[in-house]
Structure 1
């Protein structure tokens, strides 16, 4: 996977004016577009689309600073059909207009070319189990929240706090299959979604496919398949978020599995205001 990501970075710089067929590239390297985008986003801390935009604007800015005579030629060279759309993208990265950079040489914001490396020592110990489950019916109370990579998500906290205590008890009694207990389910996340984009968060439990679902509950279904279950124990939410990152940096590059589309699940075994013992369930398939 590390070799594939670096080949993708090379392709971005080689074809900055062309639309990259990420799906075809993934197939050529024996993986899927979904997994490739998820791994890129996790390791680069930005979506692939954002990296492409920043690299295009970095090189375009250098050309304009050298006095490129025609803005439209520079725009077309870097994949934009008009000077207007190019100007908006340029300003979003550099905070200034292309014409100003051509006249004054800056200021410019630079996106260096990425290079991925695998850390061989494994910085985060991980307890992992591969389990195979039939279709999961995840039911509970869902809401839309912004994606945050670090720290507590206040909108999730507000969502959970808005439920009366008896509703938590009801959900616990309703769950009847693995993963058992109260679950934090994250769904409808684009594979390279930027921080702040909306996702669906469900506070709920798992039901057997034959169990009737109460009409007042929201439902997320997960296809039958394999799950990688990672154990986590420590300060909350830091330890869990570090584990998320470590799956991309340490586990997936070293194991014959890749992510498949589907929700991610956190199963809480013990939770206090400052620490948690939990399991992170990620849908996977053999690579």
Structure 2
């Protein structure tokens, strides 16, 4: 475990010097290896070069600062190692897809990279599609089950039982038919999975339901941190990965803290097989406030 401690100490050194020159020889000394060995190992473990990781972390912190300060773009650019606003803007657009000026609007989506941390497997250093949104109150209707960590040991187990056609298949209680009927489009669109107050609820907007006996649930208005997966993945694979990145990497290192215990999963689904596998994606929203 000493090796993991040394690797994490090296990452902490990088984090503490992102506004200065990062001495890669010093990084390697902290990790107790030579520079070439450390850079090769880091690239193998994270899928990016050490220099690319440093650049992405600087652009992540720069984005946070743009949204949470009145500092000039050129001042932020210089602070994080760019010689000109033009060079900074080009690098910023490559990572975030928008200009620094647009990023001052906290509703814009950003590509953020939490700090790397080494365990038995690596966490962090993964791209996250992230934005801060202000959303109005939303009424949805669905079916709930209690989650006490006993009857259902994990979130994943309860989620599977409620969504699976082989088990409870709650969607079938909300809409008609089943997923694998190509002509049935009642499942197309947005679904919600809501964790709150010891319950998990699968729900939809009233207009998308076919059952008048469903439980009403209110998603309160407010400020939410919203995270989105790439298209085409499977929910049972994507949500655990996204939860881990949010709660282990993003929250501890962000300007925000979670407000309350609400977690909203959003499923963008299609019945059509080809559309389902190419275009479906998922989101996680958590209510937040500034630390």
TM-score by length of structure 2 reads 0.42
Higher relative contact order (CA 8 A, sep 6+): 1
TM-score by length of structure 1 reads 0.43
